[in-house]
């Protein structure tokens, strides 16, 4: 039963890959070109790190590369005058991949502890990548021969959450990978990986997705143009994150607009009350996130929601700083009156200090500091800066 459940999870993780090809990966031409060049030269490496923020296509790109490497009849053509290979989408291997049941594609992620053969491991909270998960689902399987294709592709998501023991556990496999293995680590923070891991992998740095592409994608999903442009800037070019936030039941966009209006008019005496309001809205966002990504656990969802709300405050401070410095490239372009009012109440230096304070507060969230105290502290600083 656990194996069937694992396949079901993989099908969910692979949703959206089957209709794509390498040509459809947005804003990552430098990655695709580098990979295609090595493929056509017959010198594809075995260990990679796909680095970049969430939602810029790292997993989709890893999936499409895996599908190509497993494909029985890759299609060869040209793109921009260079040889280009892509999966055929028709062979048995491609069909199995698109259904989420290819035996030689292994997606390894921290929540796999739920499907462990060891009862004690299944009970643990997947707040980090457990060494037991790495050993059971990656290290122990890496040496086994492919069942269908001539390669086995392993993709390790959130590899920045591998603790030092787990990283050491995969090091030998990265140093001497079996000839049939391709290993892709997906990572948001390469500084959290051991130098020995970095030195043994080809690092591909993924760029933010072009904002116009994100806005167009959101508009195609029925999002108003003004809101679509906001999300493209708020997420710093993360298509996946923009889609997620714009589609939450909590109506994050409405919360953002109301929050900025309150920030413009509130005083120091209102800080505690506004912190309580913000905590309530943060709870709504956490609840909505739980319906789309419940695997994270309540604590993780709560931290995500708090980070989103603090980033909303930070976007207002950053916009006020830019406007005061003469820039019109605003994230909150939809509320120009609010941003203009804030920019008149503090200078660029004061605004930059606020941005730094909020960044520090976001770090404190992950140190399990009381959210009410964090919100109050930021709002008190915000109010004092305006006075």
Task: Give me the pLDDT at residue 1, please.
Answer: 27
Torsion of CA 104, 107, 110, 116, to 10 degrees: -30
d(CA 89, CA 305): 38
Contacts for 271 with CB less than 8 Å, ≥ 6 apart: 376, 379, 380, 382, 383
What does the domain layout of the chain look like in residue ranges?
2-205, 248-386
What is the model's pTM?
0.83
* Cβ–Cβ < 8 Å for 140, 128: no
Measuring CA to CA, which residue among 194, 172, 190, 189 is closest to residue 181?
172
By C-alpha distance, which of 256, 252, 221, 247 is closest to 331? 256
For position 294, what pLDDT does the model report?
A: 52
List, for residues 291-304, the tens digit of each pLDDT value.
886 556 777 788 88
Question: Are 62 and 155 in contact, with CB atoms under 8 Å apart?
Answer: yes
The two beta strands, 75-79 and 82-86, are antiparallel
Which tokens go with 208?
């933010």
**Alpha-carbon gap, residue 130 to 110, rounded angstroms:** 7
- C-beta of residue 351 within 8 angstroms of C-beta of residue 310: no
Which backbone phi and psi does 153 adopt, to 5 degrees?
-110, 125
Q: In sequence order, what DSSP letters do the residues of 266-298 get, joined into one string?
A: --GGGHHHHHHHHHHHHHHHHHHHHHHHGGG-H
CA-wise closest residue to 215 among 207, 206, 226, 205: 226
Q: Which residues of 215-243 are buried (b: 16+ CB within 10 A; e: fewer)?
A: bebbeeeebeeebbbbbbbbbbbbbbbbb
CATH match of 2-205 with 3.40.50.280: no
Q: If we measure between CA atoms, which residue out of 381, 385, 326 comes closest to residue 358? A: 381
CB 68 within 8 A of CB 23: no
Beta bridge partners of 51: 187, 205
With 0-12 / 13-18 / 19 or more C-beta atoms within 10 angstroms meaning exposed / middle / buried, residue 266 is middle
Q: Each residue of 43-69: pLDDT tens digit? A: 889 999 999 999 999 999 999 999 999
The Cα 307–Cα 344 span in angstroms is 26
Q: With CA atoms as reference, report the closest residue to 240 among 73, 7, 82, 25.
A: 25
Which pLDDT score is estimated for 111? Answer: 87
Q: Among residues 154, 59, 63, 178, which one has the least CA distance to residue 104?
A: 154
* Phi, psi of 53, deg, nearest 5: -70, 160
| pLDDT score of 231 | 97
Residue 278 token pair: 């913000």
The class that CATH gives domain 248-386 is mainly alpha
pLDDT at residue 141, as a whole number: 94
- pLDDT for 326 equals 83
Q: CA 307: distance to chain centroid?
A: 14
Report d(CA 283, CA 250) in Å as an integer: 9
Mean pLDDT by groups of 10 residues along the chain of 387 residues:
33 43 81 90 92 92 95 88 89 93 94 82 76 91 93 95 91 92 95 94 93 95 96 94 93 96 91 93 92 70 91 94 87 95 86 88 75 86 79
């Amino acid at each position: 039963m656990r194996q069937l459940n694992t396949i079901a999870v993989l099908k969910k993780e692979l949703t959206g890959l089957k209709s794509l090809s390498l040509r459809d990966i947005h804003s990552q031409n430098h990655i695709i070109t580098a990979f295609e060049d090595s493929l056509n030269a017959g010198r594809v490496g075995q260990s990679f790190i796909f680095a970049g923020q969430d939602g810029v296509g790292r997993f989709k790109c890893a999936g499409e590369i895996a599908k190509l490497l497993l494909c029985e009849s890759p299609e060869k053509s040209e793109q921009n005058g260079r040889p280009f290979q892509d999966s055929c989408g028709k062979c048995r291997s491609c069909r199995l991949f698109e259904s989420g049941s290819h035996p030689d594609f292994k997606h390894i992620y921290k929540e796999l502890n739920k499907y462990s053969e060891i009862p004690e491991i299944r009970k643990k909270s997947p707040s980090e990548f457990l060494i037991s998960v790495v050993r059971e689902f990656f290290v122990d399987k890496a040496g086994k021969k492919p069942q269908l294709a001539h390669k086995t592709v392993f993709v390790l998501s959130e590899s920045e959450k591998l603790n030092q023991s787990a990283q050491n556990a995969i090091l030998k496999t990265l140093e001497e990978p079996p000839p049939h293995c391709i290993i892709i680590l997906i990572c948001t923070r390469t500084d959290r990986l051991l130098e020995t891991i970095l030195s043994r992998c080809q690092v591909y740095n993924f760029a933010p997705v072009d904002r116009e592409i994100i806005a167009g994608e959101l508009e195609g999903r029925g999002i108003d143009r003004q809101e679509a442009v906001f999300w493209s800037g708020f997420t710093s070019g993360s298509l996946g994150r923009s889609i997620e936030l714009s589609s939450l039941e909590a109506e994050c966009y409405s919360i953002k607009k109301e929050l900025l209006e309150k920030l413009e008019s509130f005083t120091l005496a209102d800080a505690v009350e506004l912190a309580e309001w913000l905590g309530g809205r943060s709870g709504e966002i956490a609840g909505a996130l739980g319906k789309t990504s419940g695997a994270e656990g309540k604590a993780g969802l709560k931290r995500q929601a708090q980070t989103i709300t603090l980033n909303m405050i930070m976007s207002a401070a950053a916009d006020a700083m830019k406007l005061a410095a003469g820039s019109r490239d605003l994230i909150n372009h939809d509320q120009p009156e609010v941003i203009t009012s804030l920019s008149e109440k503090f200078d660029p230096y004061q605004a930059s200090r606020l941005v730094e304070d909020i960044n520090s507060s976001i770090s404190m969230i992950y140190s399990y500091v009381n959210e009410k105290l964090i919100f109050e502290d930021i709002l008190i600083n915000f109010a004092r800066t305006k006075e």
